[in-house]
Chains A and B, each alone.
Chain A
Amino acid sequence: MTTTIPAPRSPRRLRGRTNTELYAWMFMRASGVLLVILIFTHLFVNLITGDGINALDFGFVAGKWADPLWQVWDLLMLWLAMLHGTNGLRTVINDYAERDQLRLWLKVGLYTATTITIVLGTLVIFTFDPCPPDAAADLLPSFCQVP
Chain B
Amino acid sequence: MPKAPAGTLYRGREGMWSWVAHRVTGIGIFFFLFAHILDTALVRVSPEAYNEVIATYKNPIVGLMEVGLVAAIVFHAFNGLRIVLVDFWSKGPRYQKQMSVTVLVLWVALMVPFTIRHLSHVFGG
Contacts and interface: CB of A to CB of B under 8 A. Distances in A.
Does B associate with A? yes
Interface of A: 29, 32-33, 35-36, 39-40, 43, 47-48, 51-54, 56-59, 61-62, 78, 81-82, 85-86, 88-89, 92, 98, 113, 117, 120-121, 123-124, 127-128, 132, 135-136, 139-140
B114 A48 contact: yes
Contact of B41 (A36, A51, A92, A120): A120
Interface string B78-102: 0011011001100000000000000
B5 interface: no
26 contacts: A32-B77, A32-B80, A32-B83, A32-B84, A33-B81, A33-B84, A36-B81, A39-B77, A43-B73, A47-B114, A47-B118, A48-B114, A52-B118, A53-B58, A53-B118, A61-B43, A61-B50, A88-B26, A89-B27, A117-B34, A117-B38, A120-B41, A121-B40, A124-B41, A132-B46, A136-B47
The interface residues of chain A, by DSSP majority, are classed as helix
Nearest to A37: B77
Interface of B: 3, 23, 26-27, 29-30, 33-34, 37-38, 40-41, 43-44, 46-48, 50-51, 54, 58, 63, 66, 70, 73, 77, 80-81, 83-84, 87-88, 114, 117-118, 121-122, 125
